[in-house]
Structure 1
Amino acid sequence: MLPVLMFPQFDPVLVHFGPLAVRWYALSYILGIVLGIMLLRKLVALPPRAGTAVLADDFLTWVTIGVLVGGRLGYVLFYQPGYYLSHPLSILQVWHGGMSFHGGALGVITAMVLFTWRYKLNFLAFADRVTVAVPIGLGLGRLANFINGELWGREAPASLPWAMIFPTGGPIPRHPSQLYESLTEGLLLFLVLYITSRRQSVREHPGFLAGMFLAGYACARSFCEFFREPDSFLGYLPGGITMGQLLCIPMLLAGIALMVNARRQPIYTGLPDPQNQPGEKN
């Protein structure tokens, strides 16, 4: 039998500035959004154009608000509505943790709807570019979960070479499911989307990449849920599924519908000359 790995005791705080502390989890959000916007600047300019570099920069504020507000409210409504209805002030205490990807996704979608309406952009074409960049933040966020020693996996065979004992997970070896999610929802999904996005024939059908992201994330998350320990306050739902898997069902159906619909639509020819676009500066 191979020796079981012990979880390395990472400090969840990256650096202190007097009474202020910068945590790895916060850094993952910041870095994911910044890197995502940098990639978005390049993606929107690919033919057929879906925006401008300046508009991509402007979207930074919109997406940040969408991620934070949507992620927090999603966690409150999907996972612990009873507790937060009884303790409404706790909703604001985000430093105690509690963010939902599915809620964050709804927040970003809302931000994109308002943003594309404000600047008269094609929503699906812009969404295609945004979703290619999203897995960057997902991968970094799951790495931060690992550093924090949270959201660990289910019990694993002690013979598994990478089985790990987490300080808050009891004495049993567990799957490092945070790393599984970082690799599948993050790295693998990003590579698939990015490589596919390089084809102009795909970009000419708005909604296909967004649908691929929704379906791809739903499959990756559902798979990883088989190795991830359910939240203690929820446990397993009827049928042995988890809340994460349940929330992925509408994502999968929406993703398939978007991809099918995208192929039925006329070819998207893109935006006119960038000098005529709102927000673009010479």
Structure 2
Amino acid sequence: MLPVLIFPQFDPVLVHLGPLAIRWYALAYIVGIVLGVALLRRLVRLVPRVATVEQADDFLGWVTLGVLLGGRLGYVLFYQPEVYLAHPLSILEVWKGGMSFHGGALGVIIAMALFTRRYKLNFLAFADRVTVAVPVGLALGRIANFINGELWGREAPATLPWAMIFPNAGPIPRHPSELYEALTEGLLLFIIMFVASRRQSVREQPGFLAGLFLAGYSCARTFCEFFREPDAFLGFLPGGVTMGQVLCMPMLLAGVALMVHASRSPVYTGLPATTPDTGA
């Protein structure tokens, strides 16, 4: 039998600045959003153009609000509504954790809808560029989950070379499911999205890349849920499924529908060639 790995005791706080503490989890959100917008600046320049670089920069504030508000409210409503409704002020205690990807996704969709309406942009074409960058943030977020020693996996065979004992999960070896998600929802999905986005014929079908992301994430998350321990306050739902898998089902259907719709839509030619681009 191979020796079981012991979870390294990471400090969830990266650095203390007097009374302030910068946590790895917060840093993952900040770096993920900044890197995502930096990539978006390059993607909007591709033909057909969907926005200016200046507009991509402006989207930084919109997407930040969408991720934070949507992620937090999604967790409150999807996972523990009775707890937070009984103690509404605790909704503001984001430093204690509690963010939902599915809620964050809804927040970003709303932010994109408002943003593209304000600037008179094609919503689906802009969403295609945004979703290519999203897996970067997902990978960083899951790595931060691992550093925090949270969202660990189900019991794993002790013979599994990377089976790990987490400090707050008892003495049994577990799957490091956070890393599984970082590799599948993050790295693998980013490679698929990036390679697909390099084809102009794909970029000319508004909604295809967004649909590919929704379907790809749903498949990756559903797969990883088979190795991830369900939240203690929820457990398994009827049929042995998890809340994460249930929330992925409508995403998968929406993703397939978007790809089918995009493949049947007219070719998108993008912004006029004379559209000013003031970004550096």
Q: TM-score range by the shorter chain?
A: over 0.9
| Alignment partner, residue 156 of structure 1 | 156
Aligned-partner SS, 2:21: strand
Would you say 1:268 and 2:258 are equivalent positions?
A: no
Unmatched segments (≥5 aa) in structure 1:
none
Give the aligned residue type for 1:31. V
Would you say 1:18 and 2:18 are equivalent positions?
A: yes
| Alignment partner, residue 3 of structure 1 | 3
Give the aligned residue type for 1:140. L
| Alignment partner, residue 258 of structure 1 | 258
| Alignment partner, residue 201 of structure 1 | 201
In the TM superposition, residue 275 of structure 1 has moved relative to its aligned partner by 3.7
| Alignment partner, residue 56 of structure 1 | 56
| Alignment partner, residue 111 of structure 1 | 111
Residues 52 and 274 in structure 1, CA contact (< 8 A), matched pair in contact too: no
| Alignment partner, residue 227 of structure 2 | 227
Q: Do the aligned partners of residues 274 and 94 (structure 1) sit closer, same or farther apart at CA in structure 2, a change above 3 Å counting?
A: farther
Q: Distance in 2 between matches of 1:115 and 1:259?
A: 22
Give the aligned residue type for 2:166. F
| Alignment partner, residue 127 of structure 1 | 127
Q: Distance in 2 between matches of 1:206 and 1:281?
A: 23
In the TM superposition, residue 197 of structure 1 has moved relative to its aligned partner by 0.2
| Alignment partner, residue 45 of structure 2 | 45
In the TM superposition, residue 281 of structure 1 has moved relative to its aligned partner by 6.5
Residues 72 and 98 in structure 1, CA contact (< 8 A), matched pair in contact too: yes
| Alignment partner, residue 216 of structure 1 | 216
Please give the TM-score of this superposition, normalised by the length of structure 1. Answer: 0.98
Q: Do the aligned partners of residues 4 and 116 (structure 1) sit closer, same or farther apart at CA in structure 2, a change above 3 Å counting?
A: same
Aligned-partner SS, 2:22: strand
Aligned-partner SS, 2:234: coil
The number of residue pairs the alignment matches comes to: 280
In the TM superposition, residue 273 of structure 1 has moved relative to its aligned partner by 2.8
Q: Distance in 1 between matches of 2:85 and 2:147?
A: 30
Aligned-partner SS, 1:76: helix
Q: Distance in 1 between matches of 2:255 and 2:202?
A: 15
Q: Do the aligned partners of residues 58 and 274 (structure 1) sit closer, same or farther apart at CA in structure 2, a change above 3 Å counting?
A: farther
User: In terms of mean alpha carbon deviation, does 196-205 or 267-276 score higher?
Assistant: 267-276
Q: Distance in 2 between matches of 1:161 and 1:151?
A: 20
CA shift digits 1:236-279 (9 cap, x unpaired): 000000000000000000000000000100000000135457xx
Moved over 3 A (4+): 274-277
Q: Distance in 2 between matches of 1:281 and 1:206?
A: 23
Residues 52 and 279 in structure 2, CA contact (< 8 A), matched pair in contact too: no
Aligned-partner SS, 2:222: helix
Q: Distance in 1 between matches of 2:85 and 2:223?
A: 32
Give the aligned residue type for 1:144. A
Q: Distance in 2 between matches of 1:244 and 1:11?
A: 27
Residues 275 and 281 in structure 1, CA contact (< 8 A), matched pair in contact too: no
CA shift digits 1:129-159 (9 cap, x unpaired): 0000000000000000000000000000000
Give the aligned residue type for 1:207. G
Q: Distance in 1 between matches of 2:229 and 2:168?
A: 12
Q: Do the aligned partners of residues 275 and 168 (structure 1) sit closer, same or farther apart at CA in structure 2, a change above 3 Å counting?
A: same
Please give the root-mean-square deviation of Cα atoms over the aligned residues, in Å.
1.0
| Alignment partner, residue 248 of structure 2 | 248
Q: Distance in 2 between matches of 1:154 and 1:92?
A: 30
Aligned-partner SS, 1:54: helix
Q: Distance in 2 between matches of 1:121 and 1:57?
A: 15
